[in-house]
Every structure is written in C-alpha cells, then in structure tokens.
C-alpha cells in the first residue's frame, strides 16, 4: 500500500525524505499569510527612501510622525484581523471610536467625574457594545456585515444626538488639564524613551528646536500600544488554545462546534476585542487632542479591514495573521504621510489604498487556492 504525494508519503528512503522536507519548509514560508504585507512594507520603504530620502521624512521627527499614524491604524487593524480570522466583520469600529471619545469627555467635563473613571466607563461601554454585536451575530446567524452596519449608524447617531443633547455642540474640549496626576490617563498619554531623545538631541544627532530641546520628544503611546498588541495577538494566535479556536471558528464554524470548540464565545470575545481596540484608539487620540469630536473615527473601520486584508486575512475567515495586519497598517500609514514629502498630490493616497487592497485580495485568493489545493 502506498499513498504518494509531494509532502505526505509512505516511508521511503531517508535521503529523499530530507530533500523533500526542505522543499516543504520553503513552501511553508511562502504560505505564511503576512509574507505579502512584509514584502509590501519593504517596497514602500525603498520607494520613499529613493524619492523622499532627503526630505526629512526619515528624520527622527518624520519617522515618529508616520509611525504614529501607522500605529493608530494598526491598533484597530490588528483587532479587525483577529475578528476576520474568526470569520466575522465589524463595521462599527469607526463609530465606536467616536462613541468612546464622548464617553470619556462628557462625564469628565460635564459630570465632574475623575478622568480615570470616565476612561474605565468608556471601556465598559466598549465591552457592552462588543458583546451586543457578538451575541446578535451568534444568536441570529445573520451576517456580521449587516448587524455591525446597523451598529455603525446606531452608535454614530447616538453619539451625535447625546452629545448635542447634553452639551449643545458636537465637540467637547477641555480635557488636557485633567490628564496631569490622573492615575490612568498616563497609560494612553505618555511619550516614552524621552531620555533617549534628549540624549540624541544633546549629541546633535537629531533635529532641535530653537530652544535646544529635540523636535521629536519621545515615542508616542500609540506606537507602544501597537507593538504591545501586535506581540500579544500573534502569541495568542500561534501559541494558545484560544488562538486555535479562533482559526477553527473562522475556518468552519459547524465543524469546530461539532468537535467541542465554543464557537459562539470565541466570536463574541473577538467582537469585544474590536470595540476595545476602538476605545484604545479613541482614548489615545482624545487625550492627545485634549478634546472629543463626535465624528472622530469616521471610515476607520474600512481602513482597518483594508489593512487586515493587505496583511493576508481572507474575507472568508480562518486564515490570516495579526502581524500581517500590523504590516498592512504600516504600509498605509507610511504612504499616507510619505506622500506629503513627494510632489504627488495627496488625493492619490486613496487610489493607492484601493489598488493595494485589490492586489492583496487577488494575491490572497491565489495563496488560499495553493494552501487548500487537493491532490
């Protein structure tokens, strides 16, 4: 009896065995979902290195600038990717960003809550919204696309209506003074490695202001959160039982359920994840700007999904990576900022975004066929 194939085989001589093993390792690498996005990110850096290498884009200040934009997008893209691997979408991410913003600002400014309590309140609301999205999708069996599209309108509308009702306007400023000495806010509002930048400045290695302090003062909190989330989620996907359940729930929810994976709970937790990520995004931005805006986060859900797709997530679920989504966000963030350093009109950024996504989808589709190719 013999079952022959390139990679699965009955025992033959060991020399051949070793040779085939190498081939399959290479194939394995090529099959990694984030490979395309990694390659894309490298290409983007090479491109801007050539056309904008001498413009200040790659100065410390310039780099922190595009890293900050990438990181902000990355925070929600990673969560969107996790949810996509689990087989669902969340179109309410952008609205959740706006909603979380006013959940922080209104209690803190109008009700006199301490800032930390408002932040905890915003995260509690995020858990509720995520749970509600999740339970609705799981219980009704409706496509998450529709359920969360409804939530997109409901949350944005409620954000606007409530803010106008309570404050009579659509923006809530005045938060900056509350940040100092708050026991929680620093987690979302502290530049880190300041000493490094001060030192680099004193060595005249980076650009200085006229008063002698460095132009770039430290690593923004978004970047730290981004790196932290990318590591944690990648670890979850690759190394934990819950990670295996995410792939299984997205790959075949009935099959997964039949072998005892709690598919419903996995999906609900992932919806909570996107809402919480939206709230991290919102908290960082609100504290940075010192104000909340009801329209904040508009269209961010689509950018997050685009970054996840460029990062190798399949729209059908069960395949993808968090680190890929992180690279996807870096590509978009770098191009959206880098374009200012070139002669190209910034309007072209959206064209680029769309084209990237198309190429990614076609590429991913091809990879999927390769991976699941039956002999």
**C-beta of 83 vs 155, nearer to other proteins:** 83
Task: Using the minimum distance from each CB to other proteins, give the nearer residue, 202 or 240.
Answer: 240
Determine, following the binding rule CB under 8 A, whether residue 299 of this chain makes contact with other proteins: no
Task: Please report, for residues 264, 363, 369, the alpha-carbon distance to residue 313 in angstroms, rounded to integers and kept in the order given.
Answer: 20, 11, 14
- For other proteins, the binding residue among 225, 226, 281, 319 (CB under 8 A) is 319
**Residue 141 vs residues 58, 148, 229, 259, 261: alpha-carbon distances, Å:** 48, 13, 29, 20, 17
Binding track, positions 128-167, relative to other proteins; x by CB under 8 A: ----------------------------------------
Which has the closest alpha carbon to 105: 113, 351, 184? Answer: 113
Query: Binding other proteins by CB under 8 A: which of 29, 50, 203, 259?
Result: 259
Distance of closest approach, residue 115 Cβ to other proteins, in angstroms? 31
When the beta carbons of 243 and 338 are compared against other proteins, the nearer one is 243
Residue 73: closest CA among 263, 310, 346: 310
Q: Rounded distance, CA 279 to CA 273, Å?
A: 10
Please list, residue by residue across 1-24, b when 16 or more beta carbons sit within 10 angstroms of its beta carbon and e when fewer do.
eeeeeeeeeeeeeeeeeeeeeeee
End-to-end CA distance of the chain: 18
CB of 332 to other proteins, least distance (A): 25
Strand partners, 173: 291
Spatial distance between the Cα atoms of 248 and 258, rounded to a whole number of angstroms: 11
326 touches other proteins (CB under 8 A): no
Of 13, 20, 280, 291, the residue at the interface with other proteins (CB under 8 A) is: 20
Quick check: 16 binds other proteins (CB under 8 A)? no
Kindly write out the interface string for residues 345-374 of this chain, putting x where it contacts other proteins by CB under 8 A and - elsewhere: -----------------------x--xxxx
Q: How far is the CB of 30 from other proteins (least distance, A)?
A: 12
Three-state DSSP at 189 gives helix
Picking from 106, 103, 101, the residue whose alpha carbon sits closest to that of residue 168 is 106
Identify the sign of the CA torsion 334, 36, 266, 158: positive
Could you say which of 214, 318, 324, 338 contacts other proteins (CB under 8 A)?
A: 318
Among 251, 265, 349, 361, binds other proteins (CB under 8 A): 251
- Give me the residues that bind other proteins (CB under 8 A), please: 1, 3, 5, 7-11, 17, 20-21, 24-25, 28, 31, 238-241, 243-245, 247-248, 251-252, 254-261, 314, 318-319, 368, 371-375
């Amino acid at each position: 009896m013999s079952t022959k194939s390139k990679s699965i085989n009955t025992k033959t001589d060991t020399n051949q065995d070793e040779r085939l093993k190498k081939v399959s390792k290479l194939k394995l690498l090529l099959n990694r979902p984030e490979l395309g996005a990694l390659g894309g990110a490298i290409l983007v850096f090479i491109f801007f290195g050539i056309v904008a290498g001498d413009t200040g884009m790659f100065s410390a200040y310039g780099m922190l600038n595009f890293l900050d934009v990438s990181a902000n997008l990355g925070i929600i893209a990673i969560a969107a990717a996790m949810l996509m691997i689990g087989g669902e979408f969340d179109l309410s991410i952008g609205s959740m960003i706006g909603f979380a913003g006013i959940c922080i600002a209104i209690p803190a400014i109008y009700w006199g809550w301490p800032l930390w309590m408002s932040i905890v309140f915003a995260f509690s609301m995020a858990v509720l919204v995520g749970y509600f999205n999740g339970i609705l999708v799981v219980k009704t069996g409706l496509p998450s696309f529709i359920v969360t599209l409804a939530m997109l309108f409901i949350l944005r509308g409620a954000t606007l209506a409530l803010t106008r009702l309570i404050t009579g306007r659509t923006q809530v400023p005045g938060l900056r003074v509350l940040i100092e000495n708050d026991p929680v806010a620093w987690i979302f509002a502290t530049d880190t490695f300041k000493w490094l930048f001060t030192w680099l400045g004193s060595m005249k290695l980076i650009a200085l202001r006229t008063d002698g302090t460095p132009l770039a003062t430290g690593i923004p909190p978004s970047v730290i959160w981004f790196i932290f989330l990318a590591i944690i989620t990648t670890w979850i996907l690759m190394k934990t039982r819950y990670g295996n359940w995410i792939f299984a729930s997205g790959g075949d929810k009935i099959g997964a359920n039949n072998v005892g994976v709690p598919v419903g709970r996995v999906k609900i937790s992932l919806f909570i994840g996107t809402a919480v990520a939206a709230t991290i995004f919102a908290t960082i931005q609100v504290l940075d700007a010192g104000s909340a805006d009801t329209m904040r986060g508009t269209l961010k859900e689509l950018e997050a999904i685009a970054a996840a797709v460029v990062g190798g997530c399949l729209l059908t679920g069960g395949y993808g990576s968090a680190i890929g989504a992180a690279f996807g966000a870096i590509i978009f963030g770098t191009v959206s900022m880098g374009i200012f350093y070139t002669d190209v009109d910034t309007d072209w950024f959206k064209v680029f975004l769309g084209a990237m996504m198309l190429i990614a989808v076609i590429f991913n589709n091809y990879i999927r066929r390769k991976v699941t190719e039956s002999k």
